[in-house]
Amino acid sequence: MSRLRVDWRSATSLVGSVLKYLAVPLVLPLIVAIGYGEDVLPFVATMVVTVLVGLALERLDDDPDLGAREAFLMVSLTWLSVAVVGTIPYVLAGWGTQSTLVNPVNALFESMSGFTTTGATVMGSIGFDRHSHALLLWRQLTQWLGGMGIVVLAVAILPELSVGGAQLMDAEAPGPGIEKLSPRIAATARALWLAYLGFTVLEFLLLYGLHHAGYAPNMHLYNAVAHPLTTLPTGGFSPEARSIEAFSAAVQWVIIPFMVVAGTNFALFWRAFQRDGPVFSKDGEFRFYAGTMAVLSAVVAGLLFAGLGPGLASIAENVLPIPGNVERAARHATFQVVSIVTTTGYASMDFNTWSQPAQYLLLFAMFVGGSAGSTGGAIKIVRWLVIIKSLKRELFTTVHPEAVSPVRLGGRTLDERAIRGIYGFTLLYLVIFFVSVGLLAINTARVGYSLDVLELMSAIAATLGNVGPGFGAIGPMNSYLDFSPSSKLFMVFLMWIGRLEIFPVLVLLTQAYWRS
């Protein structure tokens, strides 16, 4: 047996450093709990546990030294341990009540779904009659913390992570490779978080402003805080049982651009802020991102306007009839397409009532994903763009075998290795998707829980891509509660690897990583 080549003590020690700081954001639900006169124990207990565990892990190595290998381990473990610690408030708060989150498996599902910004829920019923304001806010907050990245936040704040920071961010940030915006990685991380925070505050101001202007009666202070916390990270949790359907058309229109922002490369905002000039129109990825959403929205809007679909007649009472109404067709189509493409997972209405073609387009949209360097999940639009461009080149070189044609993205040429990496990732993603659909089908059939193929596929696409809701039994107004515990744990795994873009986790499962 050869010696381990990975310094797991360093990696775990750094996980401890990050974990102990998780006590800081827990202060927010604690204050809310005090304000509403609710139980503070779940949050105090979690703070104690996270600090103690964090300090204990930190003692594993006095002077942690981070290499490329340790970065993968550290990032993967951080996300896993944060999700585990995040279950404590759900379990404690639910103790002795009818809450489904008392079950640790359900609590872990909800916590992982939160931190990975998936937005899939196993709550039996969402509402303040069963859950405290503080707990539901904690649920929102987990998504906000996970959105821009826990490790990116740690790099921004913790000086001990500055040396290996670029590798850590690379392992965590969505998309192929990170873009250093400044000479110091910590400054880059801070810039990203600052832009993220800025947009969150802006959305809060707009939503709360609508409430005061009388356009959004139920967008009171609590809701106006809770929703930006899950819009910008492309999360999708809502303290309202019927998601964004519960709000007025004005609120839905305001949320759409913020979902678009959340799915945009945050480095673009940084650059637009630094210097003037057309940053967005010149960026190939952004143009493709905006174009894809515009085309999909237009097609879906057309389908809704025409009134195709048997279910449209039986929609909820507060949703006004859509067929023949331009504003409503455009609003629901755009909202849903943007919500799914950016992997947010909000719903402006129950899209289970939509026609087959419209639902199919949404399933397709689940694989598109946001931009690189955004908070969105799934495959990411930039990978599709590179794949389309390199396939075009393939066709060209079939006719002209001697032609040397590099793939260009935004004026820069892409390294062939990067293209290979993109093909590899996309193929792996699709293979995992199909294998997982099979495994889930077997496991649900085993316990006698029957789902059709579209439902099964949407469940896997929605968890692996961190989208959230699927179709049918797991639609936006339903939950993942009815799956068996083993299926839920499997989906926890999918959310975990999906958020970290598969490789950082999967590499831990190879022998070459640990030895040689």
Partner 1 sequence: MRVVIVGAGEVGSSIAASLAGSHEVVVIDIDRERVESLQYEVDVLAIQGDGASLGTLEDANIRDADMLIASTDDDETNIVTCGTAKTVNADCFTISRVKNTKFLETWRHAEGAFGVDFMVGTNLLTAQTIVSVIGLPAANDVESFAGGRVQMAEFRIEPESHIVGQTVQEADRFDSLTFAGLVRDGDVIIPDGSSRIEADDEVVVIGSRDSVRQFATEVSPDDNNNASNVLIVGGSDIGFHTARLLEARGLKPRMIERDHDHARALAEDLPGTTVMESDATDREFLEREHVDEVDVVVAALDNDEKNLLACLLAKRLGAERAVAIVDAGEYVDLFEAVGIDVAVNPREATAEEITRFTRERQAENVAIIEHDQAEVIEIEVDSASELVGRPIREAITDLPDGVVFGAITRNGDYVVPRGDTVLETDDHVVLFVDAAVVEQAAGMF
Task: Return residues touching partner 1 (CB under 8 A).
Answer: 400, 402-406, 408, 411, 413
Cβ 359 to partner 1 shortest distance, Å: 41
Cβ 458 to partner 1 shortest distance, Å: 41
Cβ 403 to partner 1 shortest distance, Å: 5
Question: Using only C-alpha atoms, what is the Rg of the chain?
Answer: 22
Q: Quick one: tokens of 175?
A: 């998309």
Cβ 282 to partner 1 shortest distance, Å: 14
Residue nearer to partner 1 on the CB measure, 405 or 478: 405
Residue nearer to partner 1 on the CB measure, 403 or 447: 403
Which of 44, 115, 131 is closest to 82 using CA atoms?
115
Residue nearer to partner 1 on the CB measure, 399 or 453: 399
Cβ 396 to partner 1 shortest distance, Å: 8
Residue nearer to partner 1 on the CB measure, 276 or 402: 402
Reduced to 3 states (helix: H, G, I; strand: E, B; else coil), residue 177 is: coil
Residue nearer to partner 1 on the CB measure, 134 or 419: 419
Q: Which residues contact 117 (CB under 8 A, 6 or more apart)?
A: 143, 146, 147, 230, 233, 234, 235, 236, 343, 375, 377, 466, 499
**Which residues partner with 97 through β-bridges?**
none
Q: Quick one: tokens of 500?
A: 């970290």
Cβ 416 to partner 1 shortest distance, Å: 9
Q: Are 376 and 402 in contact (CB under 8 A)?
A: no
Cβ 493 to partner 1 shortest distance, Å: 41
DSSP 319-371: SPP-TT-HHHHHHHHHHHHHHHHTT----SS-GGGS-HHHHHHHHHHTTT---
**To which H or E segment does residue 412 belong?**
strand 412-413
Alpha-carbon distance of 440 to 429, in angstroms, equals 16
Going from the C-alpha of 95 to that of each of 31, 102, 192, 326, 361, the distances in angstroms are 21, 6, 38, 48, 41
Alpha-carbon distance of 458 to 363, in angstroms, equals 7
Cβ 386 to partner 1 shortest distance, Å: 15
Alpha-carbon distance of 117 to 351, in angstroms, equals 20
Residue nearer to partner 1 on the CB measure, 412 or 515: 412
Cβ 394 to partner 1 shortest distance, Å: 15
Alpha-carbon distance of 440 to 463, in angstroms, equals 12
Residue reference for tokens 């490779």:
177
Residue nearer to partner 1 on the CB measure, 416 or 452: 416
Cβ 291 to partner 1 shortest distance, Å: 21
Which of 183, 346, 178 is closest to 266 using CA atoms?
178
Q: Phi, psi at residue 419, to the nearest 5°?
A: -65, -40
Cβ 286 to partner 1 shortest distance, Å: 19
Alpha-carbon distance of 438 to 95, in angstroms, equals 35
Residue nearer to partner 1 on the CB measure, 411 or 448: 411
Cβ 413 to partner 1 shortest distance, Å: 4
Residue nearer to partner 1 on the CB measure, 1 or 404: 404
Residues in the chain: 516
Residue nearer to partner 1 on the CB measure, 126 or 407: 407
Q: Are 425 and 503 in contact (CB under 8 A)?
A: yes
Going from the C-alpha of 308 to that of each of 12, 164, 322, the distances in angstroms are 54, 54, 10
Q: Phi, psi at residue 509, to the nearest 5°?
A: -90, 0
Residue nearer to partner 1 on the CB measure, 220 or 392: 392
Going from the C-alpha of 491 to that of each of 150, 189, 212, 496, the distances in angstroms are 21, 29, 41, 8
Residue nearer to partner 1 on the CB measure, 327 or 415: 415
